Amino acid sequence: MSVRVRFAPSPTGTLHVGSARTALFNWLYAKHHGGTFILRIEDTDQKRSDPAFVDDILKSLAYLGIVADEGPYFQSRRLDLYRQYAQQLLAEGKAVQEDSAVVFPVSPRQVRFTDLIHGDITVDTTLFERLVLMKSDGLPTYNFACVVDDAAMRITHIIRGDDHIANTPKQLVLYEALGFQPPAFTHIPLIVSADRARLSKRQGATSVNEYRTVGYLPEAFVNYLALLGWSPGGNKEVASPEELVQLFDVGRIRKAAAQFDQQKLDWLNGQHIKRASVERLTELFAQRLIAKGWLSQDYDRAWLSRIAHLLQDRLHVLQDLEDEHRYFFVEPLEYEPEAVAQYVRPDGVADHLQALKARLAQLPSFETEAVERATRELIAARNLQAKDLIHPARVAVTGRAVSPPLFGVMSILGKDKVLSRLEYAATQLLSR
In whole angstroms, what separates CA 176 from the centre of its chain?
Answer: 39
How many residues does the structure list for the chain? 432
- pLDDT value of residue 198: 65
Per-residue pLDDT of the chain (432 residues; tens, 9 = 90+): 799 999 999 999 999 999 999 999 999 999 999 999 999 999 998 889 999 999 999 999 999 999 999 999 999 999 999 999 999 999 999 999 999 999 999 999 999 999 999 999 999 999 998 999 999 999 999 999 999 999 999 999 999 999 999 999 999 999 999 999 999 999 999 998 776 666 655 555 579 999 999 999 999 999 999 999 999 888 899 999 999 999 999 999 999 999 999 999 999 999 999 999 999 999 999 999 999 999 999 999 999 999 999 999 999 999 999 999 999 999 999 999 999 999 999 999 999 999 999 999 999 999 999 999 999 999 999 999 999 999 999 999 999 999 999 999 999 999 999 999 999 999 998 765
Concatenated DSSP letters of 14-54: --BHHHHHHHHHHHHHHHHTT-EEEEEE----TTT--HHHH
- pLDDT value of residue 1: 76
Q: Rounded to two decimals, what is the model's pTM?
A: 0.92
Provide the phi-psi class of 29: left if phi over 0, else alpha when psi is between -120 and 50, else beta: alpha
The answer to whether 168 and 112 are in contact (CB under 8 A) is no
In whole angstroms, what separates CA 15 from the centre of its chain?
Answer: 10
Q: Which fold has domain 337-431?
A: Arc Repressor Mutant, subunit A (1.10.10)
Question: Cα–Cα distance between 374 and 360 in angstroms, integer?
Answer: 7
CATH code linked to domain 4-75+191-263: 3.40.50.620
Q: In the chain, list all ranges with CATH 3.40.50.620.
A: 4-75+191-263, 78-188
Q: In the chain, list all ranges with CATH 1.10.10.350.
A: 337-431
Question: Cα–Cα distance between 397 and 63 in angstroms, integer?
Answer: 37
- pLDDT value of residue 432: 57
List, in sequence order, every residue forming a beta bridge with 110; answer none if it has no partner: 124
Q: In the chain, list all ranges with CATH 1.10.8.
A: 276-328
Grouping H, G, I as helix, E, B as strand and the rest as coil, residue 137 is coil
Concatenated DSSP letters of 183-241: -EEEEEPPEE-TTSSBP-GGGT--BHHHHHHHT--HHHHHHHHHTSSB--STT-----H
Helix axis angle for 349-361 and 368-381, nearest 10°, is: 130
The answer to whether 191 and 16 are in contact (CB under 8 A) is no
Answer yes or no: CATH 1.10.8 is held by domain 276-328.
Answer: yes
- pLDDT value of residue 81: 98
Is residue 114 exposed (0-12), middle (13-18) or buried (19+ Cβ within 10 Å)? exposed
Helix axis angle for 368-381 and 406-413, nearest 10°, is: 120
In CATH, the architecture of 78-188 is 3-Layer(aba) Sandwich (3.40)
- pLDDT value of residue 193: 78
The answer to whether 253 and 117 are in contact (CB under 8 A) is yes
